């Protein structure tokens, strides 16, 4: 059902909204009448997106500019939300990245720390900050963006471990929050064409392009569709785990590339 332009009186917070999945998710929910909190480190991009989303009539948009790796920044951003923004219905923990692609003996400690601090600790910090607001209202939905990389592939070591942690953390908090009527959904996408590979290869567009050679990957809109579907199911239905790949990808290690 399309609720386009109808005011939903519901609020979504999505981390990492300055690019890729997060931006597409913000757009999808805004187009369907949700109030949106967008977050990310790149302030200018947040400002541009805020202006764009506000063109949907009847919705409110708030930008929060923080680094998910900084616990104090995360807590301060959420604890200082104006009262009208505290009723967060849906949290999408999306901010994340891969940096580098090496065998473990050639790994770079700074790359590992960026991945673990963002994908694991940052996601946990945001969940810690937002979940009490949901518990207080006995209502909410936390959607964590993991990856097919929860199943390991060569050179993926620390990134794969970080996404396995997101998977297990999602299962664990679903148990913790069960009695609080809070849904927890883990979404595990496969290869998708966003800025992800540019970040992984530290700006090397040629290497990033090779990732998708001979493949029609997922798009950010495909993931936004899936998130929207999970978030708009009846109150008694929760998708716990959803793995999505493009048709040319079977799992984390197996693709079929056309010449």
Q: Which residue has the tokens 């978030």?
A: 231
Task: Give the shortest CB-193-to-ligand NDP separation in angstroms.
Answer: 7
Q: How far from 65 is each of 103, 119, 180, 214, CA to CA, in Å? A: 34, 17, 29, 37
Question: Given the complex with ligand 8X3, which of 33 and 122 has the nearer CB atom?
Answer: 122
Q: By CB under 6 A, name the one of 8, 75, 87, 97 that touches ligand NDP.
A: 97
Q: Which residue has the tokens 């959607």?
A: 143
94 binds ligand NDP (CB under 6 A): yes
Instruction: Decide if 153 is catalytic.
Output: no
Question: Given the complex with ligand 8X3, which of 144 and 147 has the nearer CB atom?
Answer: 147
Question: Of residues 118-177, which lie at the interface with ligand 8X3 (CB under 6 A)?
Answer: 147-149
Q: By CB under 6 A, name the one of 26, 64, 78, 95 that touches ligand NDP.
A: 95
Q: By CB under 6 A, name the one of 5, 6, 9, 42 that touches ligand NDP.
A: 42
Q: Are 92 and 12 in contact (CB under 8 A)?
A: yes
Q: Residues 196-225: x/- map of binding to ligand NDP (CB under 6 A)?
A: x--x--------------------------
Question: Given the complex with ligand 8X3, which of 33 and 96 has the nearer CB atom?
Answer: 96
Contact partner at residue 64 from ligand NDP, ligand 8X3, none, CB < 5 to 8 Å by partner kind: none
**Residue-wise over 174-198: b if at least 16 C-beta within 10 A, else e?**
beebeeeebbbbbbbbbbbbbebbb
What are the residues binding ligand NDP (CB under 6 A)? 15-22, 40-42, 67-69, 94-97, 118, 122, 145, 147, 189, 191-192, 194-196, 199
Q: Which residues are catalytic?
A: 159
């Amino acid at each position: 059902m399309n609720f386009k332009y109808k005011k939903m009186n519901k609020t979504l917070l999505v981390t990492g909204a300055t690019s890729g999945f997060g931006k597409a998710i913000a757009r999808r929910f805004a187009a369907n009448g949700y109030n949106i909190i967008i977050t990310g480190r790149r302030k200018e991009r947040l400002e541009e997106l805020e202006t764009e989303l506000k063109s949907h009539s009847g919705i409110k948009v708030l930008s929060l500019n923080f680094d998910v790796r900084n616990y104090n920044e995360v807590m301060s951003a959420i604890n200082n939300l104006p009262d009208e923004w505290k009723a967060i219905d849906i949290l999408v923990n999306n901010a994340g990245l891969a940096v580098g692609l090496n065998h473990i003996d050639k790994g770079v400690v700074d790359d590992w720390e960026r991945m673990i601090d963002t994908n694991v600790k940052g996601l946990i910090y945001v969940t810690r900050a937002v979940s009490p607001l949901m518990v207080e209202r006995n209502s909410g939905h936390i959607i964590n963006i993991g990856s097919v990389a929860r199943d390991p592939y060569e050179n993926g070591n620390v990134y794969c471990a970080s996404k396995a942690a997101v998977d297990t953390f999602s299962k664990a908090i679903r148990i913790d929050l069960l009695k609080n009527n809070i849904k927890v959904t883990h979404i595990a996408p496969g290869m998708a064409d966003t800025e992800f590979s540019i970040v992984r290869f530290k700006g090397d567009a040629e290497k990033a392009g090779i990732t998708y050679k001979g493949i029609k990957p997922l798009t950010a809109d495909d993931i936004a569709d899936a998130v929207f579907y999970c978030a708009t199911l009846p109150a008694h239905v929760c998708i716990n785990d959803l793995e999505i790949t493009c048709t040319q990808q079977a799992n984390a290690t197996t693709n079929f590339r056309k010449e």
